[in-house]
Structure 1
Amino acid sequence: MPQISFNSPVGALTIFEFDGQIVSLDWGFVEDMETSPVLDEAKSQINAYFAQKLTRFDLPLAPGGTPFQAAVWAAMCDIPLGQTATYQDLARIAGSPKGFRAVGMACGKNPIPILIPCHRVLATGGKPGGYSGDGGLETKEALLKLEGVDLYPVKKASQQTAFDL
């Protein structure tokens, strides 16, 4: 299976291709690399994303999963750069309004993070939730910060509550 590894601001990444489509993105390096035009384009687009010169990926993705997971992953791809959605929002879009826990599971099983932007999915109230990528929440926060999303905005004194003090 063709694969290519390279360094990024969130660590070493390896992208895997099967039959002309991206099937996986993992953290770490592989020794035996075999590139392809699709992998070269994926690397180029990811580097452009980190350089803040790309706002939407345009790559053939084939994550493989259940129909519900596919619906959730497709909805994630529609979240614009610099914006977020909640697990509940995606549950509604995927046709299961009460399925926010299942959305969380789909996020955790996303085989192509960054390209399928599960880092843009938050828990109710803007809490970060989880992140399955290497580095966990630190990586999620770094990706959102790159996109201009501040998970922890500084509150003005007039906005603080008794719980904040």
Structure 2
Amino acid sequence: MTTTPATATTDTSVHTIIDSPVGPLTLVTRESGLAGVYMTEHRHIPAQETFGPRVAATDHPVLARTTEQLAGYFAGDIRDFDIDLSTSGTPFQQRVWAALRDIPYGETVSYGELAAVLGQPTASRAVGLANGRNPVSIIVPCHRVVGANGSMTGYGGGIDRKRWLLGFEHGTQQPVLG
């Protein structure tokens, strides 16, 4: 998975909406890669007009690949995503999001542990803020970051979805959300 800094002036955004066990997901792409995966009632969601026109997932190769890999993830067939990303964020946010992709499937780390991995052990609050701004939920697994005591802390898609995703990755049978 590669990350290309977004250049809104040269990339055309399009989006689609797919069903998932955690409810509808809005997938946003630019020509160079996936720019967003947003859940209903997602915190920090950009204005919808920035998503571009709605298209069928099969009409765009990044959307088709993302849809296929998300279906594989929710079927339990894949644990790692191979999708080119085109995310917008500060250099620090980009570093945090890159570190999130290194958290293994089914495992969790605390904000403090993630800050230490980044070489900034006192920056757990800044890591939490960057984590909360992750535009590519599930693909960049921000749901795998928990409080220092293992508690369920904030999640852009809501704590119930975070709990569901972590339970799903641990093999817990759960009803479909949404």
The count of aligned residue pairs is 148
d(CA) in 1 for partners of 2:146, 2:104: 14
Q: How far did 1:149 drift?
A: 7.1
Q: Which has the larger radius of gyration?
A: 1
Give the Cα separation in 1 of the matches to 2:84 and 2:114.
22
Q: How many angstroms apart in 2 are the aligned matches of 1:149 and 1:101?
A: 30
Q: Does residue 20 in structure 1 map to residue 32 in structure 2? A: yes
User: How large is the Cα RMSD of the aligned pairs?
Assistant: 1.9
> Could you tell me whether the CA contact under 8 Å between 1:68 and 1:94 is conserved in 2?
no
Structure 1 residue corresponding to 2:162, chosen from 137, 140, 145: 140
Quick one: which amino acid aligns to residue 41 of structure 1? R
1:114-153 matches, within 5 Å, as 114-133=138-157, 136-148=158-170
Give 1:93's aligned residue. 117
* 3-state SS, counterpart of residue 17 of structure 1: strand
Gaps of 5+ in 1: 151-165
Cα distance, 1:44 vs structure 2 = 0.3
1:1-80 matched pairs, under 5 angstroms? 1-28=13-40, 32-34=54-56, 35-80=59-104
Q: Which AA in structure 1 matches 2:126?
A: A
CA contact (8 A) 2:14 2:54 kept: no
Higher relative contact order (CA 8 A, sep 6+): 2
Percent identity (aligned): 39
List runs of 5+ in structure 2 lacking aligned partners: 1-12, 41-50, 173-178
Distance 1:68 1:62 in 2: 16
State the TM-score, normalized to the length of structure 2.
0.78
